[in-house]
Structure 1
Amino acid sequence: MVTLVNLRAYWRFVRVLYQFFPLIIAYWRDRRKYFLFGGRRSVDPETQRERADRLLDSLLTLGPTFIKLGQLLSTRPDVLPPAYIDVLTSLQDDVPPAPWAETRPVLEADVGEVDEVFDDFEREAISGASLGQVYRATYEGERVAIKVRRPGVEDLVEADLRAIAWLLPILLRFTDEARSFSVSNLADEFSDTIREEMDYSRERRMLGEIRENFEGNDRIRIPGAVDELSGERVLVMEYISGTKINDVDRLDEMGLDRSDLAESLQRIYLQMIIEDGVFHADPHPGNLSVAEDGSIIFYDFGMSGTVDAFFQDKIVDFYIAVANQDIDGILDSMVEMGTLSPTADREVMGQVMELAIADVRGEDLEQYRVQQVIQQVEDTIYEFPLRLPRNFALIMRVATVVEGVCVTLDPDFDFISVATDYLSEQGYREEGVRQAVESAGDQLEETARSLVTVPPKLDDVLDRVKRDDLTVQIQIDDEHDVLDQLAKRIAYSILAAVGVLSTAILYSFNQAPEAAIVAGVITLPVGLLLYRSLRRKRGVRARPQFTRQEMRRRRDE
């Protein structure tokens, strides 16, 4: 089996290289602006979009693994330019289902004979995707949906992952140094992500946890899993039918308030991310429906993520800063989350954020959409390369897709207003105000103390300057004798050079051979001392000052 996978991987590698190599060269030219020789190269957005379309075609040609890769790339503005992100965002995982004759052995190997286990089973799949497909059946009198892993997809994915691993060093040679770290981590992240999505037992756990978090909430419906029939390759769950959330005409016929639906969807995701720390990460209209009573139905939890407490706090800070149009607060939260380099020019970044907010204000200064703000942030992230934390990339994608769905439901939907109301109801904004007041109080106390202590000290310094009696003492801490070693080597080098030159001059003129011999004898020990100094240390080495071990040692001392 391993040999077959390797052989398949070799073949896939050739195919992948054939598809991607022209794109790698083009992408390299887009980034470097030069190609072998010539002047500065300017790549217009239209050219980038054409290449992005070619990338999309290549991903679709290469099949399931690369469709998933394209979906992941669409969440990574730190890896691809905005034109590529725009094109890949349209990539839908909609693949014709495998024939029933091929799927049946997979299903029956896990749950048993279909006609014996189920009261009724529809052989025609109701949906198909790159990794699995969904069937409808009746189990113990209840309608159920059966998600089955696509036959043979495990071997294909493993072969493709090996091919990607072999392709990675080639790709890195054409990638600038700042972005190569992100690309390497993206490859590792993708292998973990696609394996998780193929594991339906993990999806069942995530589905169950999110369902439990919303227990008693009548605004959301999540199908329950049939545990006794579910495993790694098969997931059986309650079948809930509804109207697609973007079918606005049908929703109007049902008499539902679309503005209320948009607000409900936004609040559900705010709770998932800010409160619960586990969220459904694929909210496109195909995975969202609306029931007759107006509740929102969620499908397909294969793509899901978690948020730790630290990121939850920082996301809250970000939302509050955007709501308050606090540019410094936005930048601070982005730096703390790791989405913005601390070395980035804050003045330039502040101008970008101000323009982003100004662009989306419109006539009403309170009306602006977070999707456009995030788009500006993504553009800036590409210009200032850094690695996005995996789940934060998912959160950014969720925010933009959810906002798009909400605007489809209600063109006047105000994301910030809903988020602000939610944060206020949960007490986050009051907490932020309290912390700001405490911080201002601390600063006021320090200022008052400075007003008392600084003037006398400043007066003393000015008196010293007036008397020309001001001295500045500088002390260099050289506990590793670095300067001493450098001084010795410089001295040995000068003496050795003078000795060699003197010996050469005396010998060349042949007037005092004895003097040349004496000069050579005197120079030899100096040369040995210089050689010994260089050989023993192999360059000046100082102990790292900021390693964890060194800092711990200093703290203990």
Structure 2
Amino acid sequence: MVTLVNLRAYWRFFVVFYGFFPLIFAYLRDRRKYLIVGGKRRVTPEMQTHRAEILLDTLLTLGPTFIKLGQLLSTRPDILPRQYIEVLSSLQDDVPPAPWEESKQVLEEDLGPISETFDSFEQDPISGASLGQVYLAEFEGERVAVKIRRPGIEDLVEADLKVLRWSIPLLVRFIGEGQAFSLDSLADEFAKTIREEMDYARERRILNQIQSNFEDNSRMRIPTPREDASSARVLTMEYLPGTKINDIETLDAKGIDRTELATELQRIYLQMMIQDGVFHADPHPGNLAIDEDGRIIFYDFGMSGTVTPFIQDKIVEFYIAVANQDIGGILDTLVEMGTLSPEADREVMANVLELAIADARGEDIEQYRVNQIIEQVESTIYEFPLRLPRNLALVLRVATVVEGVCVTLDPDFDFISVATDYLTEQGYREDTAKRFAKEAGEQVQRTTQALFTVPPKLDRVLDTVERDNLTVNVQIDDANHVLDKLAKRIAYSILVAVGLLSASIIYAFTGEWRISVAILGLTVPMVFFLWQSFREPRGLRARPQFTRQSMRERRENEP
């Protein structure tokens, strides 16, 4: 039986297709893919910006689910070009509020009559988002903010998720391999993200956890949730008013040191990601405020993320490599995290990273150098099988948005310097150096053991060769009689390898170059015989078993 959600999904599919059709047609026209008329055309950055603005309007028109999708896509440079990322990054989750009667129904279904739960309740929301809206109220004599999930949003989201799952296999047919690689898991990733954001019980747990992690930090504030007036669709928490973090004039009027504020914000997010493993993932200016005492207030923990200890270690290594301007180390870390394919063009990526680090440090960069790198990237970026696992995408989003907020507070803010100081204070740079030294020491130990173990074995092999008793047994049915040449090649190859390795080890341990040269002199005939074996005609008969001595005897008896 077809459910109501499926019927809605079928209708939404046509609505979504109609909304995106102009962009799809333009994309196909650019590449002349599946179209008969017109040739390929070059898409300029201006054209991409214009199309990104059309995409933004389309997402806003399609409603809450696609607004959230746009916010997710703004964190995915592996899927969309830079111009799209810039436009979608401005996408604010700010939509007209639902009627009070609908919100009231949700509230009373979960908590009971409003008059029995709250001392007072204001019916006009103070903010409206795509998935929920926030009201002011009083609870047990305390001023609180009440976040209520939008009525009926669950069915709309589920229908739209079905549309996305149906659409992505179609989109993969029209795009490049690198983007298809990233799009493949986008539907599941987005479904998980938006369902988590609609679960206010999860948000309440995240609030408690992060608040506990920062209980000793007097420079920040996180609203305390009220368990007695919360549910999966309603979240009641402490109301903390403040000045928006990007209201520079008001902050200056209050005498707040903006450089110190930016530094503290950066350090807080470093602790969340590197030490705690759970972080607030939506740090745009609307979710950050400053109270009267200059403390940073964090709002809306619906979008949050976690990182594993492995990824935390890699983030530390990444920051240390950036601080040391170790481009190779940065690329290695990206590969180890699974973000960059090992087959990616390291030279191009190295140039991009050098440019990014120089820009972050405020260094002067020649324009021709910028243009050169941009051309390299544009010609190869979509060939890279780049992927950003969900939490790494959130980490990237957080790092980017936080840096933007910090630069707004202090145009000369150096996030690399702040990150370096933080890692040094917390002992991460020292620990990393010790770990590398330990690993290097263990590698040297293993190498040394191998060097002392190999010479006796080589000595026994050389004794065997000297006695003409080197034996290679072959148990195989050779109907074509062609194994004799293969046997010669194997025997000569072993002798050549033994000679070269012996000469190298003797010279490394004793420094006696004369002995090494003598061994190499004995090895030269074996090289000649090996070369000659490749020139012998085919058809020679081979025995199932043979020895070096028997082969020599046979050659001596031949006329």
Superposition TM-score tier, normalisation by shorter sequence? 0.7 to 0.9
- Between the aligned partners of 2:183 and 2:62, the Cα distance in structure 1 is 20
Structure 1 residue 410: deviation in Å? 1.1
Structure 1 residue 141: deviation in Å? 0.4
- Between the aligned partners of 2:130 and 2:34, the Cα distance in structure 1 is 38
- Between the aligned partners of 1:359 and 1:473, the Cα distance in structure 2 is 59
Instruction: Kindly indicate whether the alpha-carbon contact (under 8 Å) linking 1:278 and 1:306 is maintained by their aligned counterparts in 2.
Output: yes
3-state SS of paired residue (2:3):
helix
3-state SS of paired residue (1:471):
helix
Q: Deviations over 1:496-549 (max 9, x none)?
A: xxxxxxxxxxxxxxxxxxxxxxxxxxxxxxxxxxxxxxxxxxxxxxxxxxxxxx
2:26 — aligned with what? 26
2:189 — aligned with what? 189
Structure 1 residue 378: deviation in Å? 11
Amino acid at match of 2:509: V
Seen in structure 2, the aligned counterparts of structure 1 residues 66 and 363 have a Cα distance that, compared at 3 Å, is closer
Seen in structure 2, the aligned counterparts of structure 1 residues 410 and 273 have a Cα distance that, compared at 3 Å, is same
Amino acid at match of 1:452: F
Seen in structure 2, the aligned counterparts of structure 1 residues 364 and 347 have a Cα distance that, compared at 3 Å, is closer
Q: Deviations over 1:124-163 (max 9, x none)?
A: 1000000000000001100110000011111111111112
2:212 — aligned with what? 212
Amino acid at match of 2:523: R
How do 1:377-396 and structure 2 match up within 5 A?
Answer: 382-396=382-396
How do 1:119-134 and structure 2 match up within 5 A?
Answer: 119-134=119-134
Residues paired across the two proteins, number = 465
- When the two structures are superposed, what TM-score results if normalisation uses the length of structure 1? 0.78
1:506 — aligned with what? none
3-state SS of paired residue (2:413):
coil
Alpha-carbon RMSD across the aligned residues, in angstroms, is 2.8
Structure 2 unaligned blocks of 5 or more: 366-372, 452-504, 534-559
1:11 — aligned with what? 11
2:246 — aligned with what? 246
Q: Deviations over 1:398-441 (max 9, x none)?
A: 00100111111111111011100100011111122223444555
The equivalent position to 2:519 in structure 1, one of 451, 460, 468, is 460
Instruction: Kindly indicate whether the alpha-carbon contact (under 8 Å) linking 1:77 and 1:379 is maintained by their aligned counterparts in 2.
Output: no
2:278 — aligned with what? 278
Amino acid at match of 1:402: V
3-state SS of paired residue (1:315):
helix
1:317 — aligned with what? 317
1:471 — aligned with what? 530
Instruction: Kindly indicate whether the alpha-carbon contact (under 8 Å) linking 2:259 and 2:409 is maintained by their aligned counterparts in 1.
Output: yes
- Between the aligned partners of 1:292 and 1:38, the Cα distance in structure 2 is 62
2:227 — aligned with what? 227
3-state SS of paired residue (1:305):
strand
- Between the aligned partners of 2:65 and 2:334, the Cα distance in structure 1 is 32
How do 1:16-95 and structure 2 match up within 5 A?
Answer: 16-30=16-30, 36=36, 40-95=40-95
- Between the aligned partners of 1:233 and 1:380, the Cα distance in structure 2 is 46
Seen in structure 2, the aligned counterparts of structure 1 residues 398 and 457 have a Cα distance that, compared at 3 Å, is farther
How do 1:276-315 and structure 2 match up within 5 A?
Answer: 276-315=276-315
Structure 1 range deviating more: 18-27 or 462-471: 462-471
Structure 1 residue 168: deviation in Å? 2.2
Q: Deviations over 1:13-45 (max 9, x none)?
A: 110011112312333455678954765532111
Seen in structure 2, the aligned counterparts of structure 1 residues 118 and 379 have a Cα distance that, compared at 3 Å, is farther
1:264 — aligned with what? 264
Seen in structure 2, the aligned counterparts of structure 1 residues 468 and 187 have a Cα distance that, compared at 3 Å, is closer
Structure 1 residue 250: deviation in Å? 1.0
Q: Deviations over 1:451-498 (max 9, x none)?
A: 328976676345422675453799xxxxxxxxxxxxxxxxxxxxxxxx
1:105 — aligned with what? 105
3-state SS of paired residue (1:145):
strand
2:418 — aligned with what? 418
Instruction: Kindly indicate whether the alpha-carbon contact (under 8 Å) linking 1:81 and 1:379 is maintained by their aligned counterparts in 2.
Output: no
Amino acid at match of 1:308: T
Structure 1 residue 181: deviation in Å? 2.9
- Between the aligned partners of 2:439 and 2:69, the Cα distance in structure 1 is 45
- Between the aligned partners of 1:453 and 1:380, the Cα distance in structure 2 is 50
Structure 1 residue 294: deviation in Å? 1.3
Instruction: Kindly indicate whether the alpha-carbon contact (under 8 Å) linking 1:161 and 1:191 is maintained by their aligned counterparts in 2.
Output: yes
Structure 1 residue 10: deviation in Å? 1.3
Structure 1 residue 248: deviation in Å? 1.2
Structure 1 residue 380: deviation in Å? 7.4
- Between the aligned partners of 1:138 and 1:341, the Cα distance in structure 2 is 53
- Between the aligned partners of 1:459 and 1:317, the Cα distance in structure 2 is 48
Amino acid at match of 1:314: K
- Between the aligned partners of 2:532 and 2:525, the Cα distance in structure 1 is 18
Seen in structure 2, the aligned counterparts of structure 1 residues 458 and 340 have a Cα distance that, compared at 3 Å, is farther
Instruction: Kindly indicate whether the alpha-carbon contact (under 8 Å) linking 1:118 and 1:137 is maintained by their aligned counterparts in 2.
Output: yes
Seen in structure 2, the aligned counterparts of structure 1 residues 421 and 361 have a Cα distance that, compared at 3 Å, is closer
1:400 — aligned with what? 400
Seen in structure 2, the aligned counterparts of structure 1 residues 18 and 351 have a Cα distance that, compared at 3 Å, is same
Structure 1 residue 178: deviation in Å? 3.2
Amino acid at match of 2:345: D
Structure 1 range deviating more: 339-348 or 318-327: 339-348
Instruction: Kindly indicate whether the alpha-carbon contact (under 8 Å) linking 2:5 and 2:159 is maintained by their aligned counterparts in 1.
Output: yes
- Between the aligned partners of 1:140 and 1:286, the Cα distance in structure 2 is 28
Instruction: Kindly indicate whether the alpha-carbon contact (under 8 Å) linking 1:340 and 1:386 is maintained by their aligned counterparts in 2.
Output: yes
- Between the aligned partners of 2:43 and 2:509, the Cα distance in structure 1 is 59
Instruction: Kindly indicate whether the alpha-carbon contact (under 8 Å) linking 2:198 and 2:233 is maintained by their aligned counterparts in 1.
Output: yes
Structure 1 residue 345: deviation in Å? 2.3
**Structure 2 residue 329 is matched with structure 1 residue 329:** yes
Structure 1 residue 383: deviation in Å? 4.9
Structure 1 range deviating more: 409-418 or 379-388: 379-388
3-state SS of paired residue (2:530):
coil
Instruction: Kindly indicate whether the alpha-carbon contact (under 8 Å) linking 1:81 and 1:382 is maintained by their aligned counterparts in 2.
Output: no
Instruction: Kindly indicate whether the alpha-carbon contact (under 8 Å) linking 2:277 and 2:307 is maintained by their aligned counterparts in 1.
Output: yes
- Between the aligned partners of 1:53 and 1:458, the Cα distance in structure 2 is 73
- Between the aligned partners of 1:292 and 1:378, the Cα distance in structure 2 is 47
Structure 1 residue 120: deviation in Å? 1.2
- Between the aligned partners of 1:403 and 1:217, the Cα distance in structure 2 is 21
1:552 — aligned with what? none
Amino acid at match of 1:435: R
